[in-house]
Structure 1
Amino acid sequence: MSTNHNHPFHLVTISPWPIINAFNLMNLLLSLVMWFFYLNSSLFFFNMFILISSMFLWWRDVIRESTFQGFHSLSVMKLMKFSMILFIISELFFFISLFWAYFHAMSSPSIEIGLLWPPKNIIMFNPFSIPLLNSLILISSGISLTWSHNSLLNSNYKESMISLMITIILGMYFSSLQFIEYLEAPFCLNDSTFGSIFFMTTGFHGLHVIIGIIFLSFTFIRLINLHFSSIHHFNFEAASWYWHFVDVIWLFLYISIYWWMF
């Protein structure tokens, strides 16, 4: 392919990873159904391994294009930032749908659950225990991530690495506490509408936290390898935007589901 273009944009080379990932996602869904209905999890973990491997190789190609080949110009970065904003907006509407279901069920509880919200025999968590601690942890992680970004903008790489590592540790601490909370939960997923909505909303948020931890971990590895400069670090910015989005969603979740229902 010729490298002489009359535009400042980067046309990616032919890559097998998008179509491979698409088929992997389809197979992952089918294997998940097999796991649920036939209690056979081997195909699920095989597909998960293939998906993670192909994603890793796709990310490797993107890192090569941006860091070593210099294809990510300012115009390309501007479009990538816009794409990340659209992705976060789509994630926002996903959570809006979950909150919509929650507030709809709360404002008009059906007769099947006794016209009560939370339904009878649902013992709610103490919002001033693990949920409050998790809120403080996520707020602190947002502060440390902002510290890391500010250090990178001032070319203070050592301080940026330390504060980013603190953010990752706090995220892992949050996930561990949420796992403990699930183990000690006095109700489960099939305990009425409340149980379904509670575990769907908090569970998907927890999944987003895990994805954010992976996102930040790759950012940390690239930061150690000096892939970023004070003016060229879109990977860091995208990860920080995603993490702050997860923080804000948790605050809404804590207020509406934990604190309000106590």
Structure 2
Amino acid sequence: MADAHAKPQHDYHIIDPSPWPFIGSVGALIMAIGGVAWMQSMRSGSLPLFGIDFAGAKYWIFAIGLALVIYTMIAWWSDTIKEAHEGHHTRVVSLHLRYGMIMFIASEVMFFVAWFWAFFDASLFPNEAAQVARAEYTGGVWPPHGIEVLDPFHLPLYNTIILLLSGTTVTWAHHALLHDDRKGLVWGLALTVVLGVLFSFVQVYEYVHAPFAFSDSIYGATFFMATGFHGFHVFVGTIFLLVCLLRAMRGDFTPKQHFGFEAAAWYWHFVDVVWLFLFACIYVWASSGATIAVH
């Protein structure tokens, strides 16, 4: 009788008091201070604050903040997984988790819209970009004078095929899970993780051998910011899927309850779609009529 009265008679879950929002906020603040100190020291070599020069400790400040943020993420998501195993992720709770992931991806869409906006503003109106920056940045044309661009049908096309294949393998893993095929789930996730790592290696190689630098022109700045942030999202998505792979091998997911994997799959498909726009606009369209670098 006591258990019956103690058990909630609704589909909502009131979480226990958690320290993670506060600890995560403190870690983010410390990491931001470390980042500002890092950039300021690169500019002037010092960061005086309260009579103390923090420039020498910039790496430690940033590392401590980053460690707190990573620890918070691991602990907080571990608590969420524990709640799921305890049966707290009811139909209503699961629906709200999906709403939260959808809103997060929507915010990421707007994040990339900003970088595409910057790229098209500079590429479609190169004369205005030259006036705002320096005339030699564009020469009134796009790509700017003197800039050799990457061949879009070499490494970029290779990476496009890799990401499209990874979208196929993560979908295979999802269908395998829905049909309770554990072997297919593990193999699909493992192949997706391998393809994600391969994409990152190819992009790093491309950056190392790029014929232009970030500071060369507005072309280099917009190129590296857009593709670089996408590369970071691929890195995060690969870790996301690796965690799902470990959980799948542990038997955490069931055909009826697997939102952690579903969220990772949504995120990965979002990364795929963003890359297709990057490939079509920044690699293919922007290289039309430009000088292709030969390696």
Q: What CA distance in whole angstroms lies between the structure 2 residues aligned with 1:179 and 1:166?
A: 20
- Give the aligned partner of residue 79 of structure 1: 96
Q: Which of 14, 29, 32 is matched with 2:32 structurally? A: 29
Q: Judging changes above 3 Å, is the alpha-carbon distance between structure 1 residues 108 and 76 closer, same or farther for their aligned structure 2 residues? A: same
- Structure 1: where are the runs of 5+ without partners? none
- Give the aligned partner of residue 196 of structure 2: 171
CA offsets 1:201-226 (integer angstroms, 9 cap, x no match): 00110110011011111111111111
CA offsets 1:43-79 (integer angstroms, 9 cap, x no match): 2122212221221111111111112x11001111011
Q: Which of 59, 69, 76 is matched with 2:77 structurally? A: 59
Q: Judging changes above 3 Å, is the alpha-carbon distance between structure 1 residues 186 and 149 closer, same or farther for their aligned structure 2 residues? A: same
1:163: how far off?
Answer: 1.0
Higher deviation after alignment, 176-185 or 52-61: 52-61
- Give the aligned partner of residue 49 of structure 2: none
* Partners of 2:23 and 2:68 within 8 A in 1: no
* Partners of 2:123 and 2:142 within 8 A in 1: yes
Q: Is residue 104 from structure 1 mapped to residue 121 from structure 2 by the alignment?
A: yes
Q: What CA distance in whole angstroms lies between the structure 2 residues aligned with 1:250 and 1:171?
A: 13
- Give the aligned partner of residue 19 of structure 2: 16
* Partners of 2:33 and 2:61 within 8 A in 1: no
Runs of 4+ in 1 over 6 A off after TM superposition: none
Q: Which of 67, 70, 79 is matched with 1:49 structurally? A: 67
Amino acid at match of 2:218: T
Higher deviation after alignment, 19-28 or 230-239: 19-28
1:238: how far off?
Answer: 0.3
Q: Is residue 128 from structure 1 mapped to residue 146 from structure 2 by the alignment?
A: no
Larger radius of gyration: 2
Q: Is residue 114 from structure 1 mapped to residue 131 from structure 2 by the alignment?
A: no
Q: What CA distance in whole angstroms lies between the structure 1 residues aligned with 2:235 and 2:112?
A: 16
Q: What CA distance in whole angstroms lies between the structure 1 residues aligned with 2:247 and 2:152?
A: 37
- Give the aligned partner of residue 216 of structure 1: 241
Identity %: 41
* Partners of 2:152 and 2:283 within 8 A in 1: yes
Q: What CA distance in whole angstroms lies between the structure 1 residues aligned with 2:70 and 2:104?
A: 20
Q: What CA distance in whole angstroms lies between the structure 1 residues aligned with 2:188 and 2:92?
A: 30
- Give the aligned partner of residue 259 of structure 1: 284
* Partners of 2:241 and 2:264 within 8 A in 1: yes
Counterparts of 1:164-203 in structure 2 under 5 Å?
164-203=189-228
Give SS of 1:127's match: coil
1:6: how far off?
Answer: 4.4
CA offsets 1:78-128 (integer angstroms, 9 cap, x no match): 111111111111100111111111111111013322111111111110111
- Give the aligned partner of residue 275 of structure 2: 250
The CA RMSD measured in Å over matched residues stands at 1.3
Higher deviation after alignment, 144-153 or 97-106: 97-106
1:28: how far off?
Answer: 0.9
Q: Judging changes above 3 Å, is the alpha-carbon distance between structure 1 residues 253 and 157 closer, same or farther for their aligned structure 2 residues? A: same
